[in-house]
A = this chain, B = another copy of it.
């Protein structure tokens, strides 16, 4: 990667798509990193280059297991991933960790931006760790993460972990791009349970109560019982898979292997009953429609004059001079 002075003040890297593709397909981690930088670039020249790179990588993707990991701040996500990643490596896996950060800013360091995290894992050869794209909206970060998955798979990573802080919408976004969705919990979820949106629990394929160590063990067991009980009230999943709960201590490295066994079992069950492929096809359709609709909206609202007309219409509606439906027609029929 060389830097070129462009017409403005900023230096922009020059990307060679063929070189990048060759590097990524060879499993060159530096090329993979540069490829993701290209995907994340806001520079208009880079958009089509990025799409070319992704299209080049697509036929080279290896089959992978995409796993979403979420939980409220303080649940111990990074310690969990640090240890879970080691188990995956021991099982001969190549692991990529990507993050979707709803705060949309690495500088806040809320997810992978904090370099002191995952200290051991980051040093491993068969591991690629990448914080989320910064300075973008959730939808934008999500699209870029989904495209980054393709690059990782073309580079030979067969296990992709997508991490997000459990604070709302970002879980839904992660859920829309993974095969398996793991929700981390902490002991004492009695009141915790109320804080979690029902919809998040509904998405989970496995609820793991982390920090089940030392004095926490009785509380962790009660939380497990509470969650087991709560799960009875949730509707059956279309995957045919029944969500369960599991205890672990990422700190003491206990219970992590069992979790990997559960995931492998999920993979067996859903590949056998056909859900695995159906689910991936559905996710593709979801992203196709989402992208189309976002573009249609953006293209419309960015048309010259639309913004001013909108302001005029909002005023006219407030004065009861026009209905929203008629105002919409007026705007659209221009």
Q: Is the CB of B329 within 8 A of A51?
A: yes
Give the nearest-CB partner of A230 in chain B.
Answer: B194
In the bound complex, CA of A158 to CA of B301 (Å): 36
Name the CB-closest residue of B to A288.
B324
Interface string of A289-301 (1 = CB under 8 A from B): 0111101110010
Q: Do B292 and A328 touch across chains, with their CB atoms under 8 A apart?
A: yes
Residue of B nearest to A314 (CB): B285
- Within A62-88, which residues are at the interface with B (CB < 8 Å)? none
27 of the cross-chain contacts (CB-CB < 8 Å) are A51-B325, A51-B326, A54-B326, A55-B323, A55-B326, A59-B320, A61-B320, A147-B325, A150-B323, A194-B233, A277-B318, A281-B314, A284-B314, A285-B314, A288-B310, A288-B317, A288-B324, A290-B324, A291-B325, A291-B328, A292-B300, A293-B296, A293-B297, A295-B328, A296-B297, A296-B300, A296-B332
Interface pair B194/A295, CB less than 8 Å apart: no
9 interchain residue pairs of minimum CB distance: A287-B324, A291-B328, A284-B317, A288-B324, A296-B296, A292-B328, A281-B318, A284-B324, A288-B327
Contacts known (A296-B300, A314-B281); A323 close to B233, Cβ less than 8 A: no
Q: How far is the CA of A288 from the CA of B301 in the complex (A)?
A: 13
Give A277 to B318 CA distance when docked, in angstroms.
8
* Inter-subunit contact B233/A281 (CB<8 Å): no
Are A284 and B318 in contact, with the CB atoms below 8 A? yes
A320: chain B residues within 8 A (beta carbon): 58-59, 61
Beyond contacts A58-B323, A296-B296: 7 other A-B pairs, Cβ-Cβ < 8 A, are A150-B323, A281-B314, A284-B318, A288-B310, A288-B314, A288-B317, A296-B297
Q: Mark A248-285, 1 if CB is under 8 A from B, else 0.
A: 00000000000000000000000000000100010011
CB of A331 within 8 A of chain B?
A: yes
Alpha-carbon distance between A261 and B314 when the two chains are bound, in angstroms: 33
Interface residues of chain A, those whose CB is within 8 Å of chain B, are 51, 54-55, 58-59, 61, 143, 146-147, 150, 194, 197-198, 233, 277, 281, 284-288, 290-293, 295-297, 300, 310, 313-314, 317-318, 320-329, 331-332
* Residues in B neighbouring A328, C-beta threshold 8 A: 287-288, 291-292, 295
**Residue numbers in B under 8 Å from A296 (CB-CB):** 293, 296-297, 300, 332
Q: Please, which residue of chain B has its CB at the minimum distance from the CB of A286?
A: B324
User: Bound state CA distance, A44 and B325, in angstroms?
Assistant: 16
A277 to B291, CA, bound (A): 35
Q: Is the CB of A331 within 8 A of B55?
A: no
A233 nearest in chain B by CB position = B194
Of A51, A58, A324, most buried by chain B (CB within 10 Å of CB) is A324
Nearest chain B CB to A238's CB is how many angstroms away? Answer: 18
Distance from A57 Cβ to chain B, minimum over Cβ atoms (Å): 9
Looking across the interface, which residue of chain B has its beta carbon closest to that of A300?
Answer: B296
Residue of A281, A300, A328 contacting most chain B CB atoms (<10 Å):
A328
Query: Which residues of B are found within 8 Å of A146, using beta-carbon distances?
Result: 324-325
